[in-house]
Amino acid sequence: MNSNVENLPPHVIRLVYKEVSALTADPPEGIKIFPNEEDITDLHATLEGPEGTPFAGGVFKMRLVLGKDFPATPPKGYFLTKIFHPNVGHNGEICVNVLKKDWKAELGIRHILLTIKCLLIHPNPESALNEEAGRLLLEDYSEYASRARLMTEIHAMGSSTGLSHLRVGTGVPGDGESEDVGLGGATNEGGPQPKKHAGENSKRLNNGKKKTEKKRALRRL
């Protein structure tokens, strides 16, 4: 998606930088911000799944895209991590009133992020983008929760999610095309690798087998 920085007035850019800097220094609970220094209109974040929901324990990557008419028009929001939720489309698009009819220019990015977090706690089946998730939420909550939890375990847990992989140079959660950096700061290639204990290898194989079985089960759903 093309940058909209050049289309925004200087005073809007200053306001966005100010709020993003404040969010980075003091983020809402369970949310981390990863500003793109090359394009302030393309904001990435991670959201921890709230406790007491099928998303608990997961870390979900998100993206907010500020258009050329921001703040007169709301940003577009997307989940980059796959999630089974009535208000998240198959392309990751987020449907929430604050990004549509309830948007006001004075509402900030912090308000948007908190609203999306609340959406994980209180889904709105009446404005569902994922009709199957919306139907299950209304008719069979246990099945909905089971599907949502399975998707969370497969896509939002483990070493390939959350903060364990960031795009080098920008501090933005990567999309798989950039070099991956672990939490320790070392790249996945080069340098001596520690020896693995035989028990660790066996455990890894078992975990990999379980994950493959979960993916197969999800395909059958």
What range defines the domain where residue 69 resides?
A: 5-195
Number of compact structural domains in the chain: 1
Q: Does residue 159 lie in a domain region?
A: yes
CATH number at residue 172: 3.10.110.10
Helix ranges (DSSP H) in the chain: 10-25, 109-121, 131-139, 141-155, 198-220
81 compared with 178, residue with greater pLDDT: 81
Distance of CA 81 to the CA centre of its chain: 5
Q: pLDDT tens across 123-133, in order?
A: 999 989 999 99
What is the rounded average pLDDT for all residues in the chain? 80
Q: Does residue 14 lie in a domain region?
A: yes
pLDDT at 216: 59
Q: Does residue 81 lie in a domain region?
A: yes
Q: Does residue 221 lie in a domain region?
A: no
* pLDDT greater than 70 at residue 77: yes
Measured CA to CA, the distance from residue 104 to residue 163 in angstroms comes to 31
* pLDDT greater than 70 at residue 185: no
Please give the C-alpha separations between residue 75 and each of 41, 133, 138, 175, in angstroms, as whole numbers. 9, 24, 29, 20
Three-state DSSP state, 65 = strand
Q: pLDDT tens across 128-172, in order?
A: 999 999 999 999 999 999 999 999 999 999 754 444 444 433 333
Q: Does residue 173 lie in a domain region?
A: yes
**Residues near 138 by Cβ (< 8 Å), separated by ≥ 6?**
125
Q: Does residue 213 lie in a domain region?
A: no
pTM: 0.72
pLDDT at 56: 98
Residues annotated as part of the active site: 95
Q: Does residue 110 lie in a domain region?
A: yes
pLDDT at 212: 58
Measured CA to CA, the distance from residue 92 to residue 132 in angstroms comes to 15
Q: Does residue 202 lie in a domain region?
A: no
